[in-house]
Amino acid sequence: MNTRRLLQLWFVLVLLTMLAVTGWASTIQPMWQWTGLTQQPNHAWTIATLFDTYFGFAAFYIWVLYKEPRLMPRVLWFVAIMALGNMAMAVYVLKELRYLDHDDDLSRLLVRRNG
C-alpha cells in the first residue's frame, strides 16, 4: 500500500472517530450545556478532548516521520510529542527553523528532509 493511501485511510479513521466520540459526548452533555471540566458530568468531553488532542499530535508526528529518515530521532520525537505535546512540537519547529536561511521560502521548512 502506498503512502498516499495510508494517509487517506488514517485521516478517514481520524474523522470517523472524532465524529463518533463527539457525537457520544454530545449525548452525555450537549455542548450548549457544558459546565467545564470541573463539574459533573465531565468525563465525556474530557475523553473527546483527549482524542482530539492526541489525533492532532499524531498528525504533526506524521510530518516529523516524513522529515526524519533515521529510526532513533523518529522514536525520540514520537515519545516527546506524545508526552509533552505542543511543547515538544514547538521545540521541533524551532529546531527546523534554525536550518532555514533568511531568504528561504517556508516550503523548504515543510518539504526538506533531514539527513
Q: pLDDT tens across 2-50, in order?
A: 888 998 999 999 999 999 999 998 888 787 776 666 566 668 888 899 9
Give mean pLDDT, residues 92-104.
Answer: 91
How many domains does the structure of the chain reveal?
Answer: 1
Report in angstroms the alpha-carbon separations of 64 from 72, 76, 86, 88. 12, 11, 13, 11
Of 30, 21, 67, the C-alpha closest to 48 is 21
- Residue 8 belongs to domain spanning: 3-111
- Residue 3 CA to residue 25 CA, distance in Å, equals 32
Q: Looking at beta carbons, which pairs linking 47-50 to residues 24 or more positions away fall under 8 Å?
A: 47/21, 48/21, 48/22, 48/24
